[in-house]
Chains A and B, each alone.
Chain A
Amino acid sequence: MYIIIIGGGRVGYYLTKALLSEGYEVVIIEKDASVCKIINDELGGVCIRGDGCEAVTLAEQGTSRADMLIAVTGDDEDNLVACQVAKYRFNVARTIARIRNPQNEIVFRKLGIDITVDSTNVILEHIKGELPTYPLTHLKALRETGLEIVEVRIPPDSKAVGKKIKELSLPEGSKLSLIIHKSQKPHLPSADTTIRDGDRIIAVTAPEQEEALRTVLSGT
């Protein structure tokens, strides 16, 4: 599989390293000559100096035979254009763009980018998961299903504590998939499982039911 990466910053560098060790054919395109040199000294001649948004540069790297183009520069607009040029000029099947402004996820999807990775949101979710005031954390969006996997922590004053799952009025389409008790043992929940203070519940839900699910499980 041939993968082209645009942007030789930290994300591009470590991504290339990981993909090379998986045995993929990888090329990074980076504007800055000194950054290129550092990458080539460390990883071998994988880095090409050039503008990854320019059709000429992409043509030289044989983009029409690439299976995937991943744009991870620090600028959302550059990542958008690199992916669009790859997709509409070179028919690259899969384009992935890093975004920094969470709003751009919807914009990019609408403009034909296959996958976006929102680095700001990833960091935010990790930090929010550590805050006591955020009992619901997004673990993963299940692409193309419209569903997401979330973790809900049960606070001691939740009205769900002491209730059986069948007694809770869970929103339609939300399913509790796993319960981890304070003892750190995972359980597959059944209708008769009792919710306890400090439980961590892994659930699958539609984003629009997220608030209802949070209220049922952690509301006071």
Chain B
Amino acid sequence: MKAVIMGCGRVGARLAGLLDADGHSVTILDTDTYSFRRLPPTFKGNALIGNGLDQEVLKRSGIEEADAFVATTQGDNRNIMAAQIAKNIFNVPKVVSRIYDPLRQELYSTMGLETISPTTIFAQILREKLES
């Protein structure tokens, strides 16, 4: 699989490392080269500097041939916009984005985006821990 990840934070970098170790072809995008320090030393994929909301940058990342696109920047709205560009403009088959705000996550999932809210999931896990 060819995957493009936008946002090389802790989650993005970790995911990039995991997919790369599984033998997938990974390109990771970030606006700050310093973020790439988080990538594991064994990472064989591409680390590309640039804004994932810019279609030229996305094209350079190989989004036109990508099988999957993941948006994991710190900004919910940036993730939402990038995911919609990947899905509706570049027709990437599998698009997943992180949305911290549970209400926004709910709305966009009803609109057909595949979204994950770490806020909701983590709160549930904590509740289970505390109530068990």
Contacts and interface: CB of A to CB of B under 8 A. Distances in A.
B107 A55 contact: yes
Contacts of B76: 53, 81
B77 A101 contact: no
Contacts of A77: 53, 75, 77-78, 80-81
A80 B82 CA distance: 11
Interface string A70-82: 0000011110110
Interface string B79-107: 01100110011000000000001011001
B53 A76 contact: yes
B26 to A, nearest CB: 24
Interface stretch (A103-111, A143-151, A163-171, A194-202): A103-111
Nearest to A73: B77
Interface residues of B, number: 18
Contacts, number: 50
Interface string A43-78: 000000000011110000000000000000001111
Nearest to A80: B81
B104 A76 contact: no
Nearest to A110: B88
Nearest to A111: B84
Nearest to A55: B103
Contact of A101 (B54, B78, B107): B54
Given A77-B81, A80-B81, A81-B81, A107 B89 contact: yes
Contact of A81 (B54, B55, B80): B80
A76 to B, nearest CB: 7
Contacts of A110: 88-89
Interface in A94-115: 101, 103, 107, 110-111
B111 interface: yes
Contacts of A101: 53-54
A111 to B, nearest CB: 5
Given A55-B103, A88-B111, A89-B107, A111 B88 contact: yes
A178 interface: no
Interface in B53-79: 53-55, 75-78
A75 B80 CA distance: 13
24 contacts: A53-B76, A53-B104, A54-B103, A54-B104, A55-B107, A56-B103, A76-B53, A77-B53, A77-B77, A77-B80, A80-B77, A80-B80, A80-B81, A81-B80, A81-B81, A81-B104, A84-B80, A84-B111, A85-B104, A85-B107, A101-B53, A107-B89, A111-B84, A111-B88
Given A80-B84, A107-B81, 7 more contacts: A54-B103, A77-B78, A80-B80, A81-B80, A101-B54, A107-B89, A111-B88
